[in-house]
């Protein structure tokens, strides 16, 4: 049996980045731990050390202005209940508020849900539709990564081994909606998720939970009514099949939910 992983608990971001640069791939950052705990318990991953971010106060917080700024260690429940988010970015509050249960939302973090790149998580599709960017830091510097470029596949991201997500920046939209379709009453994960946002003359539609990364086709939204755009999305996406639905079933749901999202967006 492999020894338990070494526990690292830096108290500052600078210390965390230095440890990450020193340990490289053997150090696994740990935020809320809701997803990684399941992987560890099932022995799907066996990291040499865990780099806890829980003591880094600078990674918390929610701020508003021209953009919403979510600290990487802000909890889902913080986002869901924040008056600032509810007033200026209500679709973001909804997307975080329909994740699992309050118990999970009190633990899961903004940065963690993006770094995990779990295809059936709710927030990534909404953040992608709003054109959000993840701010990633390493000992070498800072860069901003659009969420649509951050998640590259099933549980895979474009983060470098020495980078941490420290903040997520979300632009304002004229209107945005998030729809979550479940096929089983006891299941909190979506079969199909649709996020739509309108800013000026631009409409963005992103479909989540159907492939390794959120599905976004800007060219399909440029003309046509809601039903036609829904059919285009269903034709363009090659969805997965899992316990929540077959690929053929998901295609039908995509067409309906995209239409409904666009109709809601227009009201």
Domains of the chain and any CATH numbers: 6-52 (3.30.43.10), 59-171 (3.30.465.10), 175-266 (3.30.390.50)
Q: Which two tokens stand for residue 93?
A: 């509050």
75 beta partners: 109
For 103, the enclosing helix (H) or strand (E) is helix 102-105
Q: What pLDDT is stored for residue 110 in this prediction?
A: 98
Beta carbons within 10 angstroms of residue 116's beta carbon: 21
Q: Which two tokens stand for residue 109?
A: 């973090």
Residue 11 DSSP one-character state: S
Q: What pLDDT is stored for residue 41 in this prediction?
A: 75
SS3 category, 62: strand
The residue with tokens 């920046």 is 169
Q: Which long-range contacts (CB under 8 A, 24 or more apart) does 216-225 make?
A: 216/128, 216/129, 216/148
Calculate the alpha carbon distances from 241 to 186, 195, 211, 254 in Å: 19, 21, 9, 13
Q: What pLDDT is stored for residue 237 in this prediction?
A: 98
Q: What pLDDT is stored for residue 4 in this prediction?
A: 83
Q: What pLDDT is stored for residue 262 in this prediction?
A: 98
Q: What pLDDT is stored for residue 40 in this prediction?
A: 76
Ramachandran angles phi, psi of 88, nearest 5°:
-95, -25
Task: Give average pLDDT by consecutive 10-residue segment, the chain, 267 residues.
Answer: 84 96 89 82 83 96 97 98 98 97 95 96 98 97 98 97 97 98 83 98 97 97 96 98 96 98 96
């Amino acid at each position: 049996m492999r020894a338990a992983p070494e526990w690292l608990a830096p108290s500052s971001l600078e210390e965390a980045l230095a440890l990450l640069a020193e340990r490289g791939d053997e150090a696994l950052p740990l935020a809320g731990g809701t997803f990684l705990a399941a992987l560890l318990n099932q022995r799907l991953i066996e990291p040499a050390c865990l780099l806890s971010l829980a003591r880094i106060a600078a990674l918390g917080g929610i701020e508003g202005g021209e953009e919403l700024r979510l600290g990487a260690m802000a909890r889902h429940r913080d986002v869901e209940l924040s008056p600032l988010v509810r007033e200026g970015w209500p679709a973001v509050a909804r997307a975080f508020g329909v994740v699992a249960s309050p118990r999970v939302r009190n633990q899961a973090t903004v940065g963690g849900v993006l770094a995990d790149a779990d295809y059936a998580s709710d927030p990534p599709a909404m953040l992608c539709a709003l054109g959000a960017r993840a701010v990633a830091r390493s000992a070498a510097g800072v860069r901003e990564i659009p969420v649509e470029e951050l998640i590259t596949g099933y549980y895979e991201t474009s983060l470098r081994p020495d980078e941490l997500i420290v903040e997520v920046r979300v632009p304002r939209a004229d209107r945005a909606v998030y729809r979550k379709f479940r096929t089983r009453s006891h299941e909190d994960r979506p079969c199909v998720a649709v996020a739509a946002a309108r800013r000026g003359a631009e409409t963005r539609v992103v479909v989540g939970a159907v492939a390794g990364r959120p599905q976004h086709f800007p060219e399909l939204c440029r003309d046509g009514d809601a039903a036609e755009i829904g059919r285009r999305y269903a034709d363009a996406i090659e969805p997965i099949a899992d316990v929540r639905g077959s690929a053929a079933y998901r295609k039908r749901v995509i067409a309906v939910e995209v239409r409904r999202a666009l109709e809601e967006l227009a009201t």
